[in-house]
Amino acid sequence: KQEVTQIPAALSVPEGENLVLNCSFTDSAIYNLQWFRQDPGKGLTSLLLIQSSQREQTSGRLNASLDKSSGRSTLYIAASQPGDSATYLCAQGQSGAGSYQLTFGKGTKLSVIP
């Protein structure tokens, strides 16, 4: 069974700092990897999706990378802001037999201190 691990579970940084969130997965036959943001009491908002043929994706201050050989993905946030405070989840995608499913990590709770 696939496993996705996110370490650390919580992270606190001062405003303006660049930071990296880590995600590791066990299945090298990854189809894609998706990063989400979740605000307290809310649903998940998709941030970036990296296909298995890609190495990275960028959106604004966010950059996500994928290294299949090491089973790792990172989410880089540049010039962090208090509004970036949220829980960030990564999920590994598998596709086959007519279905597509994500396996989720438990998330990293980020606090950006003004």
Partner 1 sequence: DVKVTQSSRYLVKRTGEKVFLECVQDMDHENMFWYRQDPGLGLRLIYFSYDVKMKEKGDIPEGYSVSREKKERFSLILESASTNQTSMYLCASSFTTGGGLGYTFGSGTRLTVV
Which residues contact partner 1 by CB under 8 A? Answer: 31-32, 34, 36, 41-46, 49, 89, 91, 93, 95, 98-102, 104-107
Structure tokens at 67: 């290294």
Q: How far is the CB of 59 from partner 1 (least distance, A)?
A: 13
User: Could you tell me which of 27, 39, 57 has the C-alpha nearest to residue 107?
Assistant: 39
**In this complex, which beta carbon is closest to partner 1, that of residue 5 or of residue 15?**
5
**In this complex, which beta carbon is closest to partner 1, that of residue 31 or of residue 76?**
31
**In this complex, which beta carbon is closest to partner 1, that of residue 1 or of residue 114?**
1
